[in-house]
Structure 1
Amino acid sequence: MAVAYGIHLGNSSGCLAAFTNGASSVLANDAGDRVTPAIVALNGSEWEVGLTAKTGQPASKAIIKNNKRLMNCEWNEDDLLFVESSSSCRIQNEDKVLYEFETSETKLYSSPDNIATKIYAKLFTIASHSVKDEGDLKLVLAAPLHWSQTSRERLIKCAELAGFDVLQVISEPAAACLAYNVEESAEDINILVYRLGGSTCDASIVNVSSGFISIEKNIFRSDLGGQCLTKDLADYIAQEFRQKWKLDPQESRRAMAKLLQHADNCKHVLSTLSSAHVFIESLVDGVDWSQNVSRARFENIISSKVSAYIEPAQKLVESFDGIISKIVVCGGNMKIPKLQSAIANLLPNAELLSGINPDEVIAVGCAKHAGIILDFPNLSLSDVNTEVEFLGQDIYLKYLDETVKLFKEGTPLYTQYTCDINSPSDVKNISFTLHAQPDAKEFAKEDINVESLSKPFKLKATLQEEKLLLVVE
């Protein structure tokens, strides 16, 4: 089976996943990290992307962060100011947006599209090292739900310039649902998808019916992001330093840049461990700082902001009449246990899906979708208004003394259903029959030899044009 790839490129980081042999897995970068910082820097006359751009001596580099905000064709002045304030580049906005990278050695100009291409090129290198055979690297991308088709086409162009063959761009909430295989649910369900990234947040209610994923409601916030939590933690560390040494890191831009970087690392460590050690060399006037921060202390620091982060999801839930049975969390800052529990408490009867690392969820869903597309090469993806055929009646599967409802009326073509088959050890062959009703006459039959199969075994049914394909897995 060909390898298919999925990428989620956010404001703060990018993640690359591969789909092969029926499963998605996240690929690590050259530093061994599963997530790559979405940061590009000009160090002297050399371009740096990812971790190398983030670390080192920030004062000697021209750095651009949060580039994704300006990849949206409908960006506003607040977006421009946010990118400029978080970066160390000047931004020209006359005929078009240009970043001015200036170092002691050179001055260069680059567009948001060029910066995105450099990040995709970094991920392309990771992907190309994961396969032995040379060939086109098939890719599915994720974009925010509110982005226009023009904005999505910009993403496609950047990824293709980096070397990928882009199959499709899907919405981030849909990708998050695909990661957890919710489209395989036999019942109609509603899902709350909550994403908290580095600088943005959004909540969506997604309906899944017969394999179809549709977004019912969505709230997007560009003023809520994990950087606020990082800032609170940095301010706390600065206060501790000030009390001991009577020196204020907040008076120095260089010191605060260091402090924010270490606070961000500390925040991510506390998402999985109960304590984290912070050591900052030469924070102010050559004074080093060493401190242990407990998760309890961090949770106390951010406790006043938790209600504000939950507000978009709460508004969405209150305005929705249906029953929400599952919650999917994504975005790097949803690794924080206190935020996960706050979302879970919002819907105590719903199942919280958190088995995948939140900052990897969307990339995993994209990779799975790419794998599905490669399984059905005749699907047309060029027209967003594709005509879809639906099943005209229920289909039941009978075998031994069991009856299973495979597909209900209205199910779209290419929907798959997998069930576990238990059979007695002395049974060598099983006859599987298909029926329009449980007590109706069979309209198709298939005999399968199960003597050499492990028990139980899986039977996958795929709804195709004018037939139903049964395959033993």
Structure 2
Amino acid sequence: MASAYGIHLGNSTACLASFTNGTISVIANDAGDRVTPAIIALNGTEWEIGLPAKSGQASSKSIIKHNKRLMNCDFNEDDLSYVELSSSCQIQNDEKLVYEFQTSETKLYSSPDNIATKIYAKLFTIASHSVKNEGDLKLVLAAPLHWSNESRERLVKCAELAGFEVLQVISEPAAALLAYNIEENLEDVNVLIYRLGGSSCDVSIAKVSAGFVSVEKNIFRSDLGGQYLTKDLADFIAQEFKQKWKLDPQESKRAMAKLLNHADNCKNVLSTLNSAHVFIESLLDGVDWSQNVSRARFENIISSKIASYVEPAEKLIQSFDGKISKIVLCGGSMKIPKLQSTIANLLPDAEVLSGINPDEVIAIGCAKEAGLLLDVPEFSMNDLNTEVEFLGKDVYMKYLDQTVHLFKEGTPPFAQFVQSVEAEQEIKDIDFTLHTSPESEAYATESFNIENLKKPFSLKATLQQSSIKLEVE
């Protein structure tokens, strides 16, 4: 049974998907959830990962959140302060960035890479329990489009230390397109990819042409994310509590940690239901709190921020000269119906693809890419680069009196092109030449004997890391 995996490790959550015998599915964790909080806590002397780290008494734990921000080699002071403010452990950034986890029982030091490795190890355990064979667990990862090769390599090393065999790293927009099979479109199509995660936002416009994908424009915003909407909902509940009990939860760090956790759960419930019940035991001074929140109320609470979330998409659309016919929504915060409809209204004639749970889209795309790599037996998995090296120039192919635009600049490795070739019966050999433009000299030539081939025959071209492989059949 051939299996491979796709993982999207975000700032707030992680998702694991598998490719097994042609079927892609999301694997639930040991709590039965399809996404795992990307949170780690030191509770006493024990490490907690995922839901246990997120829940329970936050005041007794040393917690780190949004670790992925500091996995980027080009992180800035804003990233550092954001992680520090949202976490409850100290961050030392002298010669090397180090987290200081301190509880009443111990003090431990760790790095962003070690934290990422622990999260991957948790996912490795989940993946291991999902398969019967004990072979290597092959994996494709997704990384933000703007990340450098060095940053991507750090993700790879962490996943490998956790036990995975990493086949490739692809960009998050590319993974989103793969999840919806958009790369299979035979006609040219422009796609808006809107990703809204817990603490960041990416908007991309990608062009899909004859199965090849190129990202035309991209905007990344680290000041937009679902966490800000969660905070607004928590503040609203805090004000309701204060109005009734004359006690202010916003004056207590412990109370606000509880509120933020329950507000986040409430926000997720309201993505699918019209109302959610919030019950917080001993919110402040031993007083419990129980409240129903309707979706309409939540939408009213966040209404003032909607324009800021739409702005990057509006800016990108206005700067793009072309028709956008599809919209892909991904990222956990895009489960919010109000945000979905607002982004969709920017392009009324475009098809909105939202059939996959938004926080699972990128992991599913990675799993599909992993499955495609498994189906290419002529490539040694050990020889694959750990990042996508996109084609740096156009490639044209000439044969007989035909000229074919074989691969566009920006095409990723392992893309394939199949051409039906018509040839007279008396022709025994055909030369296929490769060019960087229709007018340029050939830089490579391959000849095939076609005497025994049924006419017309097929020529398959596969883009490898440093060459193009031609086959006839």
Is TM more than 0.5 here?
yes
What is the Cα deviation at residue 410 of structure 1? 2.6
Q: Is the alpha carbon distance of 1:335 and 1:109 closer, same or farther for their aligned partners in structure 2, counting shifts above 3 Å?
A: same
* Amino acid paired to 1:89: C
State the Cα deviation string for residues 239-290 of structure 1 (Å, max 9, x = none): 1111111111111110000000000000000000110000000011100000
Quote the Cα distance in structure 1 between the aligned partners of 2:396 and 2:25: 32
* Amino acid paired to 2:384: L
Match of 2:406 in 1: 410
Match of 1:426 in 2: none
Question: Where in structure 2 are there 5+ consecutive unaligned residues?
Answer: 409-413, 428-449, 463-468
1:270 matched to 2:280? The reply is no
Quote the Cα distance in structure 1 between the aligned partners of 2:398 and 2:141: 33
What is the Cα deviation at residue 135 of structure 1? 1.0
* Amino acid paired to 2:194: Y
What is the Cα deviation at residue 21 of structure 1? 2.2
* Amino acid paired to 1:344: A
**Residue 392 of structure 1 contacts residue 410 of structure 1 at CA under 8 Å; is this kept in 2?**
no
Quote the Cα distance in structure 2 between the aligned partners of 1:342 and 1:152: 32
Select the residue among 381, 386, 389 that pairs with 2:384.
381
What is the Cα deviation at residue 23 of structure 1? 2.6
Match of 1:49 in 2: 49
State the Cα deviation string for residues 399-454 of structure 1 (Å, max 9, x = none): xxxxxxxxx7536885378xxxxxxxxxxxxxxx95549xxx9973599xxxxxxx
What is the Cα deviation at residue 377 of structure 1? 3.2
Match of 2:201 in 1: 201
Q: Is the alpha carbon distance of 1:96 and 1:414 closer, same or farther for their aligned partners in structure 2, counting shifts above 3 Å?
A: closer
1:91 matched to 2:94? The reply is no
Quote the Cα distance in structure 1 between the aligned partners of 2:472 and 2:210: 16
Match of 1:210 in 2: 210
Displacement over 3 Å in runs of 4+: 377-380, 385-394, 411-417, 433-437, 441-447, 460-469
Match of 2:440 in 1: none
* Amino acid paired to 2:80: L
SS in 2 for 1:198: coil
Identity of aligned residues (%): 72
Quote the Cα distance in structure 2 between the aligned partners of 1:461 and 1:289: 68
Match of 1:280 in 2: 280
Quote the Cα distance in structure 1 between the aligned partners of 2:217 and 2:407: 23
Quote the Cα distance in structure 2 between the aligned partners of 1:373 and 1:116: 25
Quote the Cα distance in structure 2 between the aligned partners of 1:97 and 1:180: 38
Match of 1:428 in 2: none
What is the Cα deviation at residue 2 of structure 1? 1.3
What is the Cα deviation at residue 329 of structure 1? 0.5
SS in 1 for 2:371: helix
Mapping 1:21-420, distance limit 5 Å? 21-379=21-379, 381-382=384-385, 384=389, 392=398, 409-410=405-406, 415=416
**Residue 420 of structure 2 contacts residue 459 of structure 2 at CA under 8 Å; is this kept in 1?**
no
**Residue 8 of structure 1 contacts residue 14 of structure 1 at CA under 8 Å; is this kept in 2?**
yes
**Residue 210 of structure 1 contacts residue 411 of structure 1 at CA under 8 Å; is this kept in 2?**
no
State the Cα deviation string for residues 286-329 of structure 1 (Å, max 9, x = none): 00000000001101111111110010011000000011110001
Q: Is the alpha carbon distance of 1:467 and 1:378 closer, same or farther for their aligned partners in structure 2, counting shifts above 3 Å?
A: closer
* Amino acid paired to 2:139: L
State the Cα deviation string for residues 123-153 of structure 1 (Å, max 9, x = none): 0001111111101100000000110000000
SS in 1 for 2:154: helix
Quote the Cα distance in structure 1 between the aligned partners of 2:460 and 2:200: 38
SS in 2 for 1:444: coil
State the Cα deviation string for residues 72-104 of structure 1 (Å, max 9, x = none): 000111111000000000001111010000001
Quote the Cα distance in structure 1 between the aligned partners of 2:397 and 2:8: 33
What is the Cα deviation at residue 188 of structure 1? 1.1
What is the Cα deviation at residue 384 of structure 1? 2.5
**Residue 211 of structure 1 contacts residue 411 of structure 1 at CA under 8 Å; is this kept in 2?**
no
**Residue 434 of structure 1 contacts residue 444 of structure 1 at CA under 8 Å; is this kept in 2?**
no
Quote the Cα distance in structure 2 between the aligned partners of 1:85 and 1:377: 48
When normalised by structure 2's length, the TM-score is 0.85
* Amino acid paired to 1:370: A
**Residue 176 of structure 1 contacts residue 362 of structure 1 at CA under 8 Å; is this kept in 2?**
yes
Match of 2:430 in 1: none
Q: Is the alpha carbon distance of 1:416 and 1:291 closer, same or farther for their aligned partners in structure 2, counting shifts above 3 Å?
A: farther
Quote the Cα distance in structure 1 between the aligned partners of 2:220 and 2:208: 21
- Paired residues, number: 427
Q: Is the alpha carbon distance of 1:414 and 1:258 closer, same or farther for their aligned partners in structure 2, counting shifts above 3 Å?
A: closer
**Residue 39 of structure 1 contacts residue 50 of structure 1 at CA under 8 Å; is this kept in 2?**
yes
Q: Is the alpha carbon distance of 1:183 and 1:250 closer, same or farther for their aligned partners in structure 2, counting shifts above 3 Å?
A: same
Quote the Cα distance in structure 2 between the aligned partners of 1:117 and 1:221: 26
Q: Is the alpha carbon distance of 1:197 and 1:267 closer, same or farther for their aligned partners in structure 2, counting shifts above 3 Å?
A: same
**Residue 414 of structure 1 contacts residue 462 of structure 1 at CA under 8 Å; is this kept in 2?**
no
Q: Is the alpha carbon distance of 1:348 and 1:286 closer, same or farther for their aligned partners in structure 2, counting shifts above 3 Å?
A: same
**Residue 422 of structure 2 contacts residue 455 of structure 2 at CA under 8 Å; is this kept in 1?**
no
Quote the Cα distance in structure 2 between the aligned partners of 1:467 and 1:135: 31
SS in 2 for 1:218: strand
Quote the Cα distance in structure 2 between the aligned partners of 1:72 and 1:13: 17
* Amino acid paired to 1:410: L
* Amino acid paired to 1:186: L
Quote the Cα distance in structure 2 between the aligned partners of 1:266 and 1:202: 24
Select the residue among 438, 444, 459 that pairs with 2:454.
444
Quote the Cα distance in structure 2 between the aligned partners of 1:282 and 1:337: 31
Match of 2:466 in 1: none
Quote the Cα distance in structure 2 between the aligned partners of 1:24 and 1:247: 50
What is the Cα deviation at residue 378 of structure 1? 3.2
Quote the Cα distance in structure 2 between the aligned partners of 1:157 and 1:43: 26
Quote the Cα distance in structure 1 between the aligned partners of 2:459 and 2:192: 28
* Amino acid paired to 2:100: E
